[in-house]
Homo-oligomer: A and B are copies of this chain.
Amino acid sequence: MTGHENLWMRPERPARGPRPSFSRAALAQAAIRIADAEGLEAISMRRLAADLGAGTMSLYRYVTSKDEVFDLMVDTVVGEYLPEDRRPPDDWVEGLRLLAWQARRTMLRHPWLAPLAAGRPQAGPNSARLTETALGMLDALGLSVDEMLTLVGAVFAYVNGYIQSELAEAEALRRSGLTLAQRLAQHLSYIQSLIATGNYPMLERMTKEGGREYMGTDDRFAYGLDRLLDGIAAGLPPRGGPEGPASSR
């Protein structure tokens, strides 16, 4: 019961016995390298062990399940969200915007991250640093901790949601092996068959205006992020007013 059932509380190195051949960090690095190069599904315990020059089952000395490998990967890479200079912008809006963009850049650099992180609670040291940093930006606003958490939670919900849908599209394209034009044409011909029923006037307009993709995906990301931050800022009390996150709804 007092045992260390949590990855992050379990000591990396036991009190006695020979020193391990590698470390959790090395394990995470190796896994990240595989996932970056060949995608998440290329990671198997056998493959990972082979890359590390270890026996497959030896990995279970460092980690109790494959899932914990994923935990290590996520927490390691989440560290990249954090700006390198200790003191980010004073303005909290600029601070959160910066964090959001860093998150976006990181998730695009490691396309496996967004789906993986979305499916598990963030619990490692780097996630803690991230939370600490985000809350620190809101310190001067005079909100309760719960209000702050709600606020940054909303921003990260948007960021994760947006990037995931963006990546899902890219992934589907990659897996289909088609060119973008081919895929669009295929999708379009299905849409056309729906339009033929006469029940989809907006989709019909969509195929006619045909611009598509004229606004880059960076701009789309910025649009939603900026609107959300605008809305949050507008809803904050000018000074000690009654309009904090708690009183919404």
* A interface with B by C-beta (< 8 Å): 5-6, 8-9, 115, 118-121, 123, 125, 128, 131-132, 135-136, 139, 144-146, 149-151, 153-154, 156-162, 164-165, 168-169, 171-172, 186-187, 189-191, 193-194, 199-203, 205-206, 209, 211-212, 214-215, 219-220, 222-224, 226-232, 234-235, 245-246, 248-249
Contact = CB atoms under 8 A, between A and B. Distances in A.
A88 to B, nearest CB: 14
Contacts of A187: 123
Contacts of A246: 215, 219
A68 B206 CA distance: 26
Contact of A209 (B146, B154, B171): B146
Nearest to A216: B249
Contacts of A190: 6, 8-9, 123
The copy count of this chain in the complex is 2
Where chain A touches its partner, the secondary structure class is: helix
A214 B145 CA distance: 11
A203 B139 CA distance: 12
B145 A205 contact: yes
A31 to B, nearest CB: 19
Contacts of A150: 215, 220, 223-224
A157 to B, nearest CB: 4
B214 A146 contact: yes
B153 A220 contact: yes
Contacts of A5: 186
B156 A157 contact: no
Contacts of A151: 223
Given A9-B189, A144-B211, 7 more contacts: A118-B161, A128-B191, A132-B199, A154-B224, A159-B161, A229-B231, A231-B234
Contacts of A228: 154, 158, 224, 227-228, 231
